Amino acid sequence: IGKAIAAEGNNIYLRAKAAGLTAAKIIKRSNDAKELQLTAKQLDVVSNIIKQFEALPSEEDKFFEYCVKQYKDVPNFTLKNYGL
């Protein structure tokens, strides 16, 4: 996970994305190798997490735009609360 983070340089968004994706892949790979026993539900969740991480844009600005659209109707969601 550390190598995946370091490979993304100083971009905090890409580093976080790489860390999450790598962690989920390690869990899935460990299950596939019978080193870790996941329930069918847990395996489904991990597989969906991997798909979601892989679907995230590689550009931080596009991720920001996605989040603004996704959370605009959440009560009390205000960009200024996040310094944006």
pLDDT in tens, 54-79: 999 999 999 999 999 999 899 988 88
This prediction has a pTM of 0.85
Q: Summarize pLDDT for 22-46 with one digit per residue, the tens.
A: 999 999 999 999 999 999 999 999 9
**Alpha-carbon Rg for the chain in angstroms:** 16
Which string of b and e fits 5-22 if b means at least 16 CB within 10 Å?
beebeeeebbbebbbbbb
User: Domain map of the chain by residue range?
Assistant: 2-82
